[in-house]
Amino acid sequence: MTSHPVDRSAQPANPAIPDPEELRALAPAAVEQVRTWLREARKHPSNFSAKQLAGVLKDPAGLDFTVGFVDRVVRPEDHRIAAEALADLAPQTPGFLPWYMKSAMNLGGRLAPAVAPIAVPAARKVLRELVSHLIVDATDAKLGPAIAKLQTEGIRLNINLLGEAILGQREADRRMDGIRTLIERDDVDYVSVKVSAATAPHSAWAFNEAVEEVTAHLLPLYELAASQGAADGPTGTGPTFINLDMEEYHDLDMTLAVFMRLMDNPALQDLEAGIVLQAYLPDALDAMIRLQEFAARRVAAGGAPLKVRVVKGANLPMEQVQASVTGWPAATVPSKQAADTNYKRVLNYALTPEHTRNVRIGVAGHNLFDIALAWLLVQERGLTTQWEQGGRSPDVEFEMLLGMATGQAEAVRQDVGSLLLYTPVVHPHEFDVAISYLIRRLEEGASQENFMSAVFELDTDPALFAREQDRFVASLEDLDTAIPTPARTQNRQAAALDVARGPVPEPVDGFANTPDTDPSLAANRDWGQSITANIPGSTLGTETVAAATVTSPEQVQAAVGKAVAAGEAWASLTGAERERVLGAVADSLEAHRADLLEVAAAETGKTLDQGDPEVSEAIDFARYYGRLARGLDEMPGAQFHPSKLVLVIPPWNFPVAIPTGGVLAGLASGAPVVFKPAPQSVRTGAVVFESIREGLVAGLTALDGVSADEAESLASDVVSFISIDPEQEAELGEGLIAHPDVERVILTGGYETAKLFRSVRPDLPLLAETSGKNAVIVTPSADLDLAAKDVVTSAFGHAGQKCSASSLVILVGSVATSPRFHRQLVDAANSLTVGYPEDPRSQMGPVIEVPGEKLQRGLTELGTGETWALEPRQLDGTGRLWSPGIRAGVRPGSDAHLTEYFGPVLGVMTAETLEDAIELVNAVDYGLTSGIHSLDPDEIGIWLETVNAGNLYVNRGITGAIVRRQPFGGWKRSAVGAGTKAGGPHYLHGLGSWTDAPVAASPATAILPGHSDNQGGSAGSLWADAVSASPGAVSAPAGSVQRLAEAAGLEAEDRAWLAGAAALDEQAWNEGFGVATDISGLMAERNVLRHRPVPVTIRWESGPLVHLLRVILAGRRAGAPLTVSVAEGLPAGVGQVLAGDPQVEVRVEDTAAFHARAAQLTQLPPSAPSGGDPRIRLVLDWSEPGSGAGSRSRTGVGAGAEASRAAVLALHEALDGSPDVAVYANPVVSAGDVELLPFVHEQAISITAHRFGTPDHLTDHLL
């Protein structure tokens, strides 16, 4: 919040806002009023339930227990699951509960698993009794009597109907029907409704369209309310009052616009209605002024006044969650005191006779100091709080929450005249949906920052009273007449890049993710509208494509030659210089965000909500890979050498991020690049290229010693952009792949494409992200509403055309027959707006082209036993626009189980147990992304240890990986090559070669193989504490090294080298590979990168024995099972040492036998238990003739680089170029960060770490 100047006298006064000195002068009287109310409150003791709940919250573990009980025992449909949770939670029952409640809980916990149908309802009844004063039963039999009991003299009720999460239009209609029923009741005269309850979720970019739709759905309720008369109500005959509730910040503008649109309707001119403003938003006062101006015009035209309910705000945890995940600034003011100040600021403006004529005010809250101040201010300014029978409503109403601090509420009521109680009602079978409301209430009672934490002891504990009094006075000190500005200031329309970008998060380890565009801001929505308007006629990139189109082998050679020629100058830059240049590329991409969104939408059908995060990802690649470039120069134990040329062949489905990532990875590694986009997205590729080139020019020009002409020349050549006509793709593309200057190929596409490339060039150094057949498992312990939402988002974003998309959902146990999950899943999918991206309402765009045979099969043909839960429909004549499809009854091994259709179709499978579900997931040939929805930590733990995929997601969607936060790349046939993840710390490692740079080593002690490491494998030795012998030396685990060295008869130089390499392994393991790291450290989400050992075959083909030993040590440090293949027997001592390790198998075989056995690896299905990712580490002699390899050449077989290249080619030919086997043949180096990589799988895990904003710590002990 930016409106707190140090010198209040120096700021210009706003004439519409009274002098705040009036409020400060009332502070002493307000404190005395609080004391009076507290004395009076003693005469009205809290009810039993309130006392018990207060006692629970005083217990240090009370909040966690209550939230856990509500979430794990009350919410699950399955009594068995609830019973297991009850047994787990019962020992944690707070001691404050009366003996019979504790006894019931403890007995229920012991008996629950055996008698779940009896124990679970009984335990749930205890909880419902505990919170019965907060939430009312909505059934007809209970609601009427409850209203009659609560609605006594001076008490009115604001009824808020709670219900299931609204994921689709069917549930929205059901909620509207429920609210309509409330309005029709004679004993209800005041109801609350939210804009999110009126319709299915809408695109955040379709603001105007959503306002129209929501208004149209709410209008019948308001018309009905206007026609109603609550004859028996405390206010006499009159229309039912509708209060439009405020939700999170992203709904602020929407709620205001809908409210004013409704109140502008001539049919509602005489209807009083209200809206809520949240004072913890700095935008609140500006919104109040807008509402005042609107209402003044309405009243002047003869209309009824309006009402604003002013609250502090109840969604702070979720606002913090959004800020944490998106990187946007928190929408709220920075502190609780600032919220208290802003609350008073809004009331100071609103509580004047001039303003209350147009806008009546509801002073809502439980902070007695604030209420007392407002009450005194009301009296001071001559405002009314009493209802006049048949007359005008009061200027001000005081409002509180049902069941909270009832004694104090009654004391206040007696003075102010009446109270309006916010009263949530819920049907018993939907009680679980009250969880988020309950959590907010419980947090308020437990948080020491909140007044409610002191409410029960305020009159008996002088220290607590003094604390709250001091906070009250402090909030008044900052009070002024300024109108605060919003916390979020991002403005994509701004010319200045820093304004357009807006505030960015603080970097962590030198890097911060780029925030996406915030559509809750009006300027950004206008910016988005200008983009969608340009989509139909977009021609961006056309000229660049025409100029880059090649039609002959000679033109291909020229493009390659140009890049290679520029490569030497580019490679001469240091990593730090490349980082600076790529930073300028990031700025250029940011500046061209609108162009990139326009062309991607026009070519590939990307809607703004799908395209905008992709541009952010591209920018992240520039900054993150630039950061990694510096690291290549700083690798202990190895020197990096860029490739001669990197060829980047990206897909059409991520036409901005993936090509940008590939090109910039190549550049960051120091290599020149040839960039050939997919034919379907060639114009997008051209705009990407133009943006990169512009950034390169700017970045190079800024370097010392580089002239403008040199920068222009190098930028124009170091990335060579080419387009190949699809009819010439086979001939020219094959020549490009086979070109001898191409030393690395970055491919993102289908597995079959990778096979095709390898058929052209069996030893092609390929780094490929390929296909995926991904599933989300939903267990009975899951939040079913959240699971349904995430499955639909993951399955149908970008029409399912993502390799990470969820094309399967596997329902465990009772979820398979859950009407609720089925209803929510189908409703959410069926309610998606399908259209082209120029329509901002579109939530799912078209497929890229008329479906081919595979996708057509997926959209139109059912397998044995399958039925359509939601049948896909072709929506227009192009063949590209399809509605979502959900097929139920998918059987194991069927086409729908194993085939990646790559389109908007989701298969539903069932499994009896979690273990069965994991088998179904692992039965496919791919292992890219995988997800689970479960609130049972044991289930999550089992899944984390047994599912085979590179990117894992817990209680969230499985798409949308973010650079560094969730490095992206799969296992099995989802990845080809080095196995390092895009956007991860090791991605650049595979884009060049390494030579050794030995480090000094010192002796240390270690014990030989046998212990289990923390990643699930058996490590090669117990790397004991090491003691450095000299300053700057790297400590070496010398015990195992010494035994191997002695057994091999190594000379002193080789022993020292081996010890130094082993020490670097240890350092790399302890600082990275062996630690599950969450570098992002977000409040709302855990993002952990870990490394899992993988079996590897080590083949010693040539080179010194010490190199073989060094590779074996790396593999065993990683805990990887090893097969060591040698042409001749190892020295006897070495064989004996290795024989003592059960995870090492030594095979003596000639090259032909080795090749035959390697070829067998290609026949093993990737889904087989022992299949997946076969890897071979070739140990070769890469020394050039006459180089002099030193003493290490005397302990092995010499060969030379030429022979080694031939050996690599021979192995690939024996494998028939299969992408299923990864071959690592780089020279052996000391660097642990390099040599450990072949022996581990990288795995990124993203876990939602909160429930409704409250940290849940569900998986803290698992990772």
In the prediction, which pLDDT does 938 show? 95
One domain, residues 1087 and 1107: yes
The yes-or-no verdict on residue 233 having pLDDT over 70 is: no
Number of domains in the chain: 5
What is the C-alpha to C-alpha distance for residues 152 and 1157, in angstroms, rounded to an integer? 86
**pLDDT tens across 908-920, in order?**
999 999 999 999 9
Nearest 5 degrees, angle CA 14-CA 19-CA 23? 140
- What is the pairing mode between strands 549-550 and 975-976? unpaired
One domain, residues 725 and 781: no
**pLDDT tens across 795-836, in order?**
999 999 999 999 999 999 999 999 999 999 999 999 999 999
pLDDT band at 445 (very low <50, low <70, confident <90, very high): low
Note whether residue 1021 is domain-resident: yes
Q: Would you state the structure tokens that stand for residue 859, as one six-digit string?
A: 């959209």
How much of the chain exceeds pLDDT 70, in percent? 91
Q: Which of 224-228, 312-316, 388-392 is the least confident region?
A: 388-392
Q: Would you state the structure tokens that stand for residue 513, as one six-digit string?
A: 């993710």
What is the C-alpha to C-alpha distance for residues 1157 and 1152, in angstroms, rounded to an integer? 9
- 3-class SS string, 12-25: CCCCCCCCCHHHHH
In the prediction, which pLDDT does 727 show? 87
Of the candidates 104, 130, 156, which is a domain's last residue? 130
The yes-or-no verdict on residue 103 having pLDDT over 90 is: no
| Mean pLDDT computed over 573-584 | 98
| Mean pLDDT computed over 879-901 | 97
pTM of the predicted model as reported, rounded to 2 decimal places? 0.94
- 3-class SS string, 251-279: HHHHHHHHHHHHHCCHHHCCCCCEEEEEC
DSSP string, 392-445: PPPSEEEEEETTSSHHHHHHHHHHHS-EEEEEEEE-GGGGGGGHHHHHHHHHHH
Structural contact between residues 396 and 353, judged by C-beta atoms closer than 8 angstroms: no
Nearest residue to 1250 via CA among 504, 613, 436, 518: 436
Name, in order, each residue with C-beta under 8 angstroms of 130's C-beta and a sequence gap of 6 or more. Answer: 49, 52, 53, 56, 66, 101
Torsion region of 1026: left, alpha or beta (phi above 0 gives left; psi -120 to 50 gives alpha)? beta
One domain, residues 1089 and 955: no
Nearest residue to 343 via CA among 239, 244, 475: 475
How much of the chain exceeds pLDDT 90, in percent? 78
What is the C-alpha to C-alpha distance for residues 399 and 374, in angstroms, rounded to an integer? 12
| Element of type H or E holding 977 | none
What is the C-alpha to C-alpha distance for residues 63 and 60, in angstroms, rounded to an integer? 7
What is the C-alpha to C-alpha distance for residues 550 and 541, in angstroms, rounded to an integer? 16
Per DSSP, the three-state class of 447 is: coil
One domain, residues 922 and 869: yes
What is the C-alpha to C-alpha distance for residues 1095 and 684, in angstroms, rounded to an integer? 41
pLDDT band at 1022 (very low <50, low <70, confident <90, very high): very low
In the prediction, which pLDDT does 1198 show? 57
Instruction: Tally Cβ neighbours within 10 Å of residue 111.
Output: 17
What is the C-alpha to C-alpha distance for residues 137 and 125, in angstroms, rounded to an integer? 13
Name, in order, each residue with C-beta under 8 angstroms of 904's C-beta and a sequence gap of 6 or more. Answer: 795, 796, 799, 800, 844, 847, 859, 872, 882, 883, 884, 885
What is the C-alpha to C-alpha distance for residues 526 and 523, in angstroms, rounded to an integer? 5
One domain, residues 327 and 343: yes
Phi, psi of 243 (to 5 degrees): -105, 125
Note whether residue 508 is domain-resident: no
Instruction: Tally Cβ neighbours within 10 Å of residue 418.
Output: 18
One domain, residues 925 and 1058: no
| Mean pLDDT computed over 1108-1127 | 96
The CATH number of whichever domain residue 720 belongs to comes to 3.40.605.10
In the prediction, which pLDDT does 1169 show? 75
What is the C-alpha to C-alpha distance for residues 271 and 287, in angstroms, rounded to an integer? 21
In the prediction, which pLDDT does 150 show? 93
The CATH number of whichever domain residue 1193 belongs to comes to 3.40.605
Q: Would you state the structure tokens that stand for residue 707, as one six-digit string?
A: 């002239």
What is the C-alpha to C-alpha distance for residues 7 and 441, in angstroms, rounded to an integer? 37
Per DSSP, the three-state class of 948 is: coil
pLDDT band at 1199 (very low <50, low <70, confident <90, very high): low
Domain span at 551 = 540-769
Structural contact between residues 659 and 769, judged by C-beta atoms closer than 8 angstroms: no
| Element of type H or E holding 1170 | none
Nearest 5 degrees, angle CA 497-CA 502-CA 506? 110
Instruction: Tally Cβ neighbours within 10 Å of residue 1016.
Output: 11
pLDDT band at 46 (very low <50, low <70, confident <90, very high): confident
Q: Which of 85-99, 174-188, 869-883 is the least confident region?
A: 85-99
DSSP letter assigned to residue 798: G
Torsion region of 1252: left, alpha or beta (phi above 0 gives left; psi -120 to 50 gives alpha)? left
Helices (H), 185-206: none
Structural contact between residues 744 and 671, judged by C-beta atoms closer than 8 angstroms: yes
Nearest residue to 888 via CA among 864, 912, 904: 864
- What is the pairing mode between strands 971-972 and 926-927? antiparallel
What is the C-alpha to C-alpha distance for residues 532 and 602, in angstroms, rounded to an integer? 9
In the prediction, which pLDDT does 1003 show? 41
Name, in order, each residue with C-beta under 8 angstroms of 174's C-beta and a sequence gap of 6 or more. Answer: 163
Note whether residue 511 is domain-resident: no
Of the candidates 113, 130, 147, which is a domain's last residue? 130
pLDDT band at 1000 (very low <50, low <70, confident <90, very high): low
What is the C-alpha to C-alpha distance for residues 210 and 203, in angstroms, rounded to an integer? 8
Helices (H), 164-246: 169-184, 207-227
What is the C-alpha to C-alpha distance for residues 519 and 525, in angstroms, rounded to an integer? 6
pLDDT band at 101 (very low <50, low <70, confident <90, very high): low
Structural contact between residues 284 and 278, judged by C-beta atoms closer than 8 angstroms: yes
Note whether residue 901 is domain-resident: yes
One domain, residues 120 and 150: no
Structural contact between residues 826 and 886, judged by C-beta atoms closer than 8 angstroms: yes
Structural contact between residues 837 and 607, judged by C-beta atoms closer than 8 angstroms: yes
Strand ranges for 183-295 from DSSP E: 190-194, 241-245, 274-278
**pLDDT tens across 459-485, in order?**
888 999 999 999 999 999 999 999 999
In the prediction, which pLDDT does 1190 show? 37
Nearest residue to 341 via CA among 471, 486, 489: 471
Q: Which residues are catalytically annotated?
A: 769, 803
The CATH number of whichever domain residue 168 belongs to comes to 3.20.20.220
Greater confidence, 84 or 863? Answer: 863
DSSP letter assigned to residue 1187: S
Note whether residue 1102 is domain-resident: yes
Rg, the chain, Cα only = 34
Name, in order, each residue with C-beta under 8 angstroms of 1154's C-beta and a sequence gap of 6 or more. Answer: 1099, 1125, 1127, 1147
In the prediction, which pLDDT does 1153 show? 97
Q: Directed axis angle between helix 48-58 and helix 435-446, to 10°?
A: 70
One domain, residues 125 and 246: no
CA dihedral 64, 68, 74, 75 (to 10 degrees): 130
Measured between its terminal Cα atoms, the distance across the chain in Å is: 37
The position carrying tokens 């030396």 is 1033
One domain, residues 1047 and 1140: yes
Rounded to the nearest integer, the mean pLDDT of the chain is: 90
Residue type, 1068: A
What is the C-alpha to C-alpha distance for residues 191 and 359, in angstroms, rounded to an integer? 18
Nearest 5 degrees, angle CA 987-CA 992-CA 995? 115
Note whether residue 192 is domain-resident: yes
The yes-or-no verdict on residue 143 having pLDDT over 80 is: yes
In the prediction, which pLDDT does 1183 show? 87
Task: Specify the length of the chain in residues.
Answer: 1263
Structural contact between residues 79 and 87, judged by C-beta atoms closer than 8 angstroms: no
Nearest residue to 122 via CA among 153, 168, 79: 79
In the prediction, which pLDDT does 435 show? 73
One domain, residues 120 and 231: no
What is the C-alpha to C-alpha distance for residues 375 and 34, in angstroms, rounded to an integer? 11
Structural contact between residues 805 and 905, judged by C-beta atoms closer than 8 angstroms: no
**pLDDT tens across 187-215, in order?**
999 999 999 999 999 999 999 999 999 99
Note whether residue 1258 is domain-resident: no
In the prediction, which pLDDT does 432 show? 82
Nearest 5 degrees, angle CA 998-CA 1041-CA 1009? 130
The yes-or-no verdict on residue 1053 having pLDDT over 50 is: yes
The yes-or-no verdict on residue 446 having pLDDT over 70 is: no
One domain, residues 1190 and 1145: yes
pLDDT band at 100 (very low <50, low <70, confident <90, very high): low
Q: Which of 705-719, 881-895, 1029-1043, 1168-1182 is the least confident region?
A: 1029-1043
Of the candidates 77, 110, 130, which is a domain's last residue? 130
CA dihedral 900, 902, 903, 907 (to 10 degrees): 20
Helices (H), 552-607: 553-571, 575-591, 593-604
Q: Would you state the structure tokens that stand for residue 62, as one six-digit string?
A: 């009370």
One domain, residues 1058 and 1161: yes
The yes-or-no verdict on residue 726 having pLDDT over 90 is: no
The position carrying tokens 């929407």 is 254
The position carrying tokens 């309509």 is 180
In the prediction, which pLDDT does 1036 show? 43
Note whether residue 1100 is domain-resident: yes
What is the C-alpha to C-alpha distance for residues 280 and 311, in angstroms, rounded to an integer? 8
DSSP letter assigned to residue 563: H
